[in-house]
A and B are shown apart, each in its own frame.
Chain A
Amino acid sequence: MRRYYQPEIETAPREKILEIQNEKIVRQVRHVWDNVPYYRDLMMKKGVTPEDIRGVEDIKKLPFLSKADLRDAYPYGLLGTDLKNCVRIQSTSGTTGKRVVAFYTQHDIDLWEDCTARAIVAAGGSEEDVLQVAYGYGLFTGGAGIHGGSHKVGCLTLPMSSGNTERQIQFMMDLGTTILCCTPSYAAYIGESLAEQGYKPEDNKLKAGIFGAEPWTEEMRRDIEQKLGIKAYDIYGLTETSGPGVAYECEEQHGMHINEDHFYAEIIDPDTGEVLPDGEKGELVFTALDKEAFPLLRYRTRDICVLNRTPCSCGRTHVRMSKPMGRSDDMLIIRGVNVFPSQIETVLLNEGYTPNYQIVLDRARNTDTFDVYVEVSADQFSDLMSQIQKMEKSLEAALRTMLGISPKVHLVAPKTITRSEGKAVRVVDKRKLHD
């Protein structure tokens, strides 16, 4: 059985990787300078020209890109090539005002799928495997990314998309799925559903799972591994950089190898922007080294993590990133969907509520629970219970439209939401996702 998808690069000596990166970054900065006026302006403001970038050592001279830049430049401002060269878009979960639309040339799709193929092989995948993709298909990168990698590896690919758990289980059992790919919470849910139907872990043919797109804990990993009788691998990525597969776990299950021939990683101090030495905790920043259509340089992920450059027993030489330990902004990831508290505030104001609310997140049966407590104002209050319940339902619907996921809305009396030092506590996260 093959251990690596592209051994020559995955196990390349460090000097070789550095050489590749140095060569690619020089070319990439020139490509961006020539084709992306938005970023050229940022470089000019910082007094940097392509001549200043002679290798990855010089990346720290380049300006950062953030989500705000993606919004300002939406939709075509960061496009690095003519649209006629692009073959696809993918998009984030579609939260108004924060939507990210990423463009891909065929070359970009190929390198992305190489990345997910490496992740699949690292999880023990080969052409002998039956790989069930239970990530959502469509604009979301999860389904498409894993699907493409699965084809490259030669697995029999089951393009299930997410949901319809009955059908997932039926295909899994009838066709003998060996590798399951979905969000960790959905994997846990499938595990519970299997148990409810009387299946024991040894009844299925599963051997591995590749789970990502939302934060999960070691405890959850053990739970999923036990329920499904598999080894569970983490995978990381974001639409801005291509999708899942930017980094992935090997059999060591100790940090995710970053595909450094395509993505250069830095850890910075989120407040000062200073690059931090290896091993220090900070914000993860990615530079796409060879993407054509959406070539983001120094993109701030807002994920807080640590890089580990110690050699890995799996033989891969690429740096490992820890699971994200938090965020440097207020973004929440709920059931795999990115949610900003400000979006909830916008909906409340649109619907005639006060902005006095509290988001409470917890986990029940390994799935995120999402409750929003909202204070009712005097002019909204009715003596009819049915009226108040209708208000809750209609607010739930408005929030679902904005966020893409459904919270449970609880209307509460004025001044009942916990305030700390006069400021309302907006988010109570009981999920304990980070140690």
Chain B
Amino acid sequence: MAITQISLFLMNQPGQLVDAVGAISGAGSNIRAMSISEANDFGILRAIVTDTDKVCEALKEKYLITRTPVVAARMDDRHGALHPILVALNESNINIEYMYAFTGTGPEEAYVVLRVNDAETAEAVLHAAGIGTLSDESLKI
């Protein structure tokens, strides 16, 4: 069920990000969420886009790009909403590599993107705790 995140390998230099985002834009896709992590020489741009296939096709010549299944957990946009999600994952001993969040299209609707060691189990654990998750289909709004 999990959703597909794309990751781009970019050099940690001026001009890299603007070019990459321009390329995604040129592919006609909306970026629903993104995060960047940086090392000395390079960075990794991670994004949830509305049209993953088109973006990958358009960018694969010029960029190192990879797809990764991640879990997008639904939460209310209010204080305390993230905590039960993390409690549920922790109780099942699921490790989180990294995470970032974005707001949904509905009022007070937010999502947290979780990169975990086992997306399938994580999703099942969240569902059992009554927490909803997104699928690729539901993203293409």
Q: Is the CB of B42 within 8 A of A412?
A: yes
The verdict on A385 contacting chain B, using a C-beta distance below 8 Å, is yes
Contacts of B9 in A (CB 8 A): 376, 381, 388, 413
Interface set, chain A 128-149, CB cutoff 8 A to B: none
A-side interface residues, number (CB < 8 Å):
17
Kindly identify, within residues 80 to 130 of chain B, every residue whose CB is under 8 Å from any CB belonging to chain A.
Answer: 97-98, 115
Within the complex, the shortest CB–CB distance from A124 to chain B, in Å, comes to 46
In the complex, what distance in Å separates the CA atom of A382 from the CA atom of B10?
12
**Number of contact residues on B: which range applies?**
20 to 34
Given A383-B5, A413-B9, are A388 and B42 neighbors across the interface (CB < 8 Å)?
yes
Q: Could you say which residues of chain B place their CB within 8 Å of the CB of A96?
A: none
Q: Is A364 part of the binding interface, using a Cβ–Cβ cutoff of 8 Å?
A: no
| B135 in contact (CB, < 8 A) | no
In the bound assembly, the distance between CA atoms of A361 and B39 in angstroms comes to 21
How many angstroms from the CA of A382 to the CA of B64 in the assembled complex?
9
List A contacts of B138 (CB < 8 A): none
CB-based contact A381/B64 at 8 Å: yes
CB interface residues, A 362-415, toward B, < 8 Å:
376-378, 381-386, 388-389, 410-414
- List of 4 A-B pairs having minimum Cβ-Cβ separation, nearest first: A383-B7, A381-B64, A383-B68, A410-B41
A253 beta carbon closer than 8 Å to chain B: no
Asked if A413 and B64 sit within 8 Å, CB to CB, the answer is yes
**Interface residue B34 (Cβ < 8 Å from any Cβ of A):** no
Q: How far is the CB of B128 from chain A (nearest CB, A)?
A: 27
- 8 further A-B pairs in the complex, CB-CB below 8 A; given A385-B39, A412-B11: A378-B64, A381-B9, A388-B44, A410-B40, A412-B42, A413-B9, A413-B10, A413-B42
Verify if A6 is at the interface (C-beta below 8 Å from B). Answer: no
Q: Is B66 interfacial (CB 8 A cutoff)? A: yes
Could you give, for residues 6-46 of chain B, a 1 whenever the CB lies within 8 Å of some chain A CB and a 0 otherwise?
A: 01011100000000000000000000000001011110101
Set of chain A residues within 8 Å of B37, measured between Cβ atoms = 385
Q: Find residues 39-71 in chain B having any chain A CB closer than 8 Å to their own CB.
A: 39-42, 44, 46, 60, 63-66, 68
Assembled-state Cα–Cα distance A381/B10 (Å): 11
- Rounded to whole angstroms, the CA-CA distance of A91 and B85 in the bound complex is 62
CB distance from A211 to the nearest CB of B (A): 33
- Asked if residues B41 and A384 are in contact (CB atoms below 8 Å), the reply is no
Residues of A contacting B98 in the complex (Cβ-Cβ under 8 angstroms): 384
* CB-defined contacts of B60 to chain A, threshold 8 Å: 378
State whether B39 touches A389 (Cβ < 8 A). yes
Complex formed: what's the CA distance from A378 to B65 in Å? 7
Q: With both chains docked as a complex, state the minimum distance between the C-beta of B87 and any C-beta of chain A, in angstroms.
A: 24
Distance between Cα atoms of A388 and B42 in the complex (Å): 10
Q: How many angstroms from the CA of A382 to the CA of B5 in the assembled complex?
A: 12
Q: Is the interface of B mostly helix, strand, loop or mixed?
A: strand
Is the CB–CB distance between B44 and A383 below 8 Å?
yes
For this complex, 13 residue pairs linking A to B, each with C-beta atoms less than 8 Å apart, are A378-B64, A381-B65, A381-B66, A382-B66, A383-B46, A383-B68, A383-B115, A384-B98, A385-B37, A385-B39, A410-B41, A413-B11, A413-B63
In the bound complex, how far is the Cα of B127 from the Cα of A98, in angstroms? 61
| In the complex with contacts A383-B5, A383-B44, A383-B46, A416-B39 CB distance below 8 A | no
How far is B46's CA from A269's CA once the two chains are assembled, in angstroms? 57
List B contacts of A414 (CB < 8 A): 64
**Most chain-B CB neighbours within 10 Å: which of A384, A411, A413?**
A413
* A173→B44 CA distance, assembly (Å): 51
B70: shortest Cβ distance to chain A, in Å? 9
Q: How far is the CB of A417 from chain B (nearest CB, A)?
A: 11
Nearest B residue to A387 via CB reads: B97
Smallest CB separation, A346 vs chain B (Å): 23
B44 touches A385 (CB 8 A): yes
- Distance between B10 CB and nearest chain A CB, rounded to angstroms: 7
Determine the distance from Cα of A279 to Cα of B95 in the docked complex, in whole angstroms: 70
**Contacts A381-B64, A389-B39 hold; do A416 and B11 have CB atoms under 8 A apart?**
yes
Which residues from chain B contact A382 at a C-beta distance below 8 Å?
Answer: 7, 66
B46 contacts which chain A residues (CB < 8 A)? Answer: 383
B-side contacts of A376, CB under 8 Å? 9, 64
**Which chain A residues border B5 with CB–CB below 8 Å?**
383
- Distance between A370 CB and nearest chain B CB, rounded to angstroms: 15
B27: shortest Cβ distance to chain A, in Å? Answer: 18
A170–B102 alpha-carbon span in the complex (Å): 60
Report A-chain residues with C-beta under 8 Å of the C-beta of B68. 383
A389 and B37 CA atoms in complex are apart in Å by 12
Docked CA distance A95–B89 (Å): 50
Chain A residues lying within 8 Å of B66, measured Cβ to Cβ, are 378, 381-383
Min CB gap A238→B, angstroms: 36
- Output the least CB separation between A363 and chain B (Å): 20
**Chain B: minimal CB distance from A411 (Å):** 7
A239 vs B92: C-alpha distance when bound (angstroms)? 62
Minimal beta-carbon separation of B126 from chain A (angstroms): 21
Residues from chain B with Cβ under 8 Å of A389 in the complex: 39
**A376–B11 alpha-carbon span in the complex (Å):** 11
- Give the complex CA separation of A414 and B11 in angstroms: 10
B39 A388 Cβ-Cβ under 8 A: yes
Q: Which of A376, A378, A386 is packed against the most chain B CB atoms within 10 Å?
A: A378
Q: Which chain A positions have C-beta within 8 A of B39?
A: 385, 388-389
B63 to chain A, nearest CB (A): 7
Contact indicator per residue, chain A 186-230, by CB within 8 Å of chain B (1) or not (0): 000000000000000000000000000000000000000000000
